[in-house]
Amino acid sequence: MSSPATEVVRLLTVRDETIAVAESLTGGLVAAEITTVPGASKVFRGSVTAYATDLKHELLGVDATLLAERGAVDPQVAAQMAAGVRKALGADWGIATTGVAGPEPQDGQPVGTVFVAVDGPSEAEKGAVHGGKTASLRLNGSRAEIRMESVRSVLALLLQQLASEQTGNERAQDTERNGGF
């Protein structure tokens, strides 16, 4: 069975689409995982590791008020990071990780609180029903385990979005073939 990163590269290559990554707690691990796959250069645009909260705003366009009110560990922050890196690096898809790997809580959030997000082509851009998706995780384990599970989770969320978009397109094509029924 192929790794999630291998499957991401394969699917994006077939679709002739690209990806960009915004990372906080994973510190570049998502980008490293994707770029270990032969052929990743066909789909991988780049990444931004915005570990410091101010960089999330400055480089990725995350709303400063949101960051001030809720901190960096928030589902909306993850969603804005994914959308921001997608725009900043000119990719079809943006994915993001933000959370608390430990050893101490951050922004009032306990260790193991992680948010991952995917932002993809909108209906207007690709003729597909899409947009963004965020997942909230409560992870256990060491700092390294939390970070690696965050990598797996963001790639799994992207694969889920790619699969659901594919299913949606197939349904639309079936509906057209069957006279709208």
Q: Which CATH number fits domain 4-177: 3.90.950.20, 3.30.420.40, 3.40.50.720, 3.60.20.40?
A: 3.90.950.20
Interhelix angle 75-88/53-60, rounded to 10 degrees, is 40
The order of strands in the sheet holding 44-49 is 44-49, 19-23, 93-99, 113-119, 132-138
- Let me know: does 56 contact 62? Beta carbons within 8 Å: yes
Longest C-alpha distance within the chain, in Å? 58
**Burial class of residue 123, CB neighbours in 10 A (0-12, 13-18, 19+):** exposed
Q: What is the pTM of this model?
A: 0.88
Give the helix/strand (H/E) hosting 127: none
Please say if the pLDDT value at position 130 is more than 70.
no
pLDDT class of 132 with cuts at 50, 70, 90? confident
pLDDT class of 131 with cuts at 50, 70, 90? low
179 Cβ contact partners less than 8 Å away, ≥ 6 residues apart: none
Q: What is the pLDDT of residues 67-126, one digit of tens each?
A: 999 999 999 999 999 999 999 999 999 999 999 999 999 989 999 999 999 999 875 554
Q: What is the pLDDT of residues 137-169, one digit of tens each?
A: 999 999 999 999 999 999 999 999 998 876 555
Give the helix/strand (H/E) hosting 179: none
**Burial class of residue 128, CB neighbours in 10 A (0-12, 13-18, 19+):** middle
Please say if the pLDDT value at position 29 is more than 60.
yes
The pLDDT, as a whole number, for residue 170 is 46
The pLDDT, as a whole number, for residue 181 is 42
Across the range 32-56, mean pLDDT stands at: 97
- Let me know: does 23 contact 35? Beta carbons within 8 Å: no
> Which of 8, 46, 51, 30 minimizes the C-alpha distance to 148?
30
pLDDT class of 178 with cuts at 50, 70, 90? very low
- Let me know: does 108 contact 88? Beta carbons within 8 Å: no
What does the domain layout of the chain look like in residue ranges? 4-177
Across the range 168-178, mean pLDDT stands at: 43
